[in-house]
Amino acid sequence: MGLEIKGIYPVSSYEKMKDSISKELSNKLVWARIMAFFIDIIILSSCYAAVMTILAQAFRQTVFVDFYSLLNLSLFSMVVFFTMPSFLVINYFVIFHACGGQTVGKMLMGIRVVDRAGEELTLGASFLRLTGYLLSFLPMGAGFFWAVLDKDKEAWHDKLAFSQVIYQKIP
């Protein structure tokens, strides 16, 4: 029958059970990551929409004295329109991952980003991880979906920044 562990399961049965539980947790972790990402996208989109709504209201209520004031406000609006998403995304992910390892979405899903030693990411590692998001996204999202196929359930940005996503330990 094989060597017994704690008198309950034979080694072969214990290993099969352990592998089954490990695979189930790994699959749940991938889905938790996906849900956390969508929550974060909703939050970032809401912030962007709020800023653009405020800007649109300011634009509507402005009395234009001349053509140049209209042109200046239009140019300013275009700059904000195109740079605000990058500004929000960079700050949101880098700061949250470096300061606690959790974005709001990850907090809600009970997961956290840490380095390979289990410590919080540095600002540099957080920025590298964010850069990895771009690399993961470019080939039609293949780098994100890689986590489903990878034995360690790591996406390309995890591998690039030497980071991993784990379940949050409850104190």
* Sign, Cα dihedral of 147, 149, 151, 156: negative
C-alpha–C-alpha distance, residues 99 and 45, integer Å: 22
The torsion of the CA quartet 86, 158, 119, 130, rounded to 10 degrees, works out to: -10
- Which amino acid makes up residue 141? G
Percent of the chain with pLDDT over 90: 53
Longest Cα pair distance anywhere in the chain, in angstroms? Answer: 91
Average pLDDT along the chain: 84
pLDDT band at 77 (very low <50, low <70, confident <90, very high): confident
On whether the pTM is more than 0.85, the answer is no
Percent of the chain with pLDDT over 70: 82
Locate the domains of the chain by residue range.
Answer: 36-167
What's the pLDDT tens digit per position in 116-170? 998 999 999 999 999 999 999 998 989 998 888 888 889 999 999 999 999 886 6
pLDDT band at 89 (very low <50, low <70, confident <90, very high): very high
